[in-house]
């Protein structure tokens, strides 16, 4: 699978990219929403940190959803969903809380991709 990782934290981005590649994926990593847009890569799924400098993970997910074809997204968060003004944003798609197991992440990616095919279902993973 071709995956994008968007996280401004160098350590997290490096570790997550390493894990996904040893799991057999092709990974492109970005430090911000803006870098992702500028990167213009074609991916099957994006793993996006909610808390980003500039535009947030929620906005990135929205942007990805509006692409043609849309790209599914998994949100990752360091402090849960505390910061969302609108709780429905949190429930809209798969979200994993740092630190997470490799399996949980794999499951979240799967769900995001199946949602993209069959229309959104509401899942929250902790």
Q: Near other proteins by CB under 8 A, which window of 33-41, 57-65, 79-87, 110-118?
A: 79-87
Q: Which of 1, 15, 91, 113 binds other proteins (CB under 8 A)?
A: 15
Asked if residue 98 binds other proteins (CB under 8 A), the reply is yes
Q: Cβ-count burial of 87 within 10 angstroms (0-12 exposed, 13-18 middle, 19+ buried)?
A: exposed
Contact 94, 86 (CB under 8 A): no
Q: Near other proteins by CB under 8 A, which window of 19-27, 29-37, 60-68, 112-120?
A: 19-27
Separation between Cα atoms, residue 55 and residue 63, nearest integer Å: 10
Q: Near other proteins by CB under 8 A, which window of 25-33, 36-44, 49-57, 62-70?
A: 49-57
Contact 96, 104 (CB under 8 A): yes
């Amino acid at each position: 699978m071709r995956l994008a990782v968007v996280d401004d934290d160098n350590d997290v981005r490096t570790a997550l990219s390493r894990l996904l590649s040893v799991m057999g994926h092709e990974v492109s990593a970005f430090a911000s929403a803006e870098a992702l847009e500028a990167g213009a890569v074609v991916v099957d799924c994006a793993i996006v940190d909610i808390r980003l400098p500039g535009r947030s993970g929620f906005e990135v997910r929205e942007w990805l959803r509006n692409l043609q074809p849309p790209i599914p997204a998994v949100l990752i968060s360091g402090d849960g969903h505390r910061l969302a003004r609108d709780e429905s944003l949190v429930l809209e798609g798969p979200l994993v809380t740092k630190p997470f197991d490799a399996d949980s992440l794999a499951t979240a990616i799967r769900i995001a991709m199946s949602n993209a095919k069959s229309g959104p279902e509401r899942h929250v993973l902790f």
